[in-house]
Structure 1
Amino acid sequence: MRTRALVVCAAAPWAVLWTVIAAAMAGAPVSMELVDAGPVVRWGLPIVDAIGDVVGAVTIACLVLALVVLPRRVEPSAPEADQGHAGVSRFHPAYERALDIGMGLGMVWSTLLVLRLVLGYALAAGQAPFSPRFGSDLLMAHKRRDL
């Protein structure tokens, strides 16, 4: 089990490393000619995309594993059955662990999606996320979309 966890944990740094290499080869360090949102957006958006894709895939895999493959309940043992606990069944530890990991990664994934939204808007608007007008412009873009 530890080997599998190590393989999964090693996927995100490798994805980031290859994303940085690909971004450098594609010219991310060089500013764009038309509008430039800055190096935070040029480097951050591909990294957030790569990490978000890995975390999303592992989240879905954990939840599908828990809901489709793993047993949900543990049958009571013989001593528990003799004591009158035959009708009580607990969740299987592997099922609970997969759901806990899936829920935790789901929160990380949703945070990364919000960060991807902010960086994507910064790239499209040509504004750095830390500029003074960025928050008000993002709010106005959201209000115009609702009309």
Structure 2
Amino acid sequence: MAIEKALYTATATATGGRAGTAKSSDGVLDLVLTTPKELGGNGATGTNPEQLFAAGYSACFIGALKAVAGRQKISLPAEVSITSDVAIGPHANKPGAFGIQVDMRISIPGIDRATAETLVATAHEVCPYSNATRGNVDVTLTLV
């Protein structure tokens, strides 16, 4: 998928893969990467690509919710939150490959369920993470 115009470009460099580091070009992000025990790691302290993806997708989706709500003149509460579970495992349709699936639990307190469902569905259409993964990642959105 192509974008019409780049409004912002993030640059980060990973070294060493799942047992290495990741640093952004501005130095704000500077992380130790570790492999989870479930994937053969030693349990060392650090983060991993799945945690970073979960945090990024959650934050981006909240941004999409805010944009959609703003267009509809709906005021979202500051307490909007999303908890994302990003699972990794063998790909169901590609032997030898891995895939991810995302389960998002979305909390929009103070907004009636029908309005919240419409906001979530529309945000899923405009969120860059949703657009980047559509057709390649199973994403489940649940209002809580």
TM-score (norm 1): 0.31
User: Between Structure 1 and Structure 2, whose CA radius of gyration is higher?
Assistant: 1
Higher normalized strand content (fraction of residues) = 2
Higher normalized helix content (fraction of residues) = 1
TM-score (norm 2): 0.31
**Bigger relative CO (Cα 8 Å, ≥ 6 apart):** 1
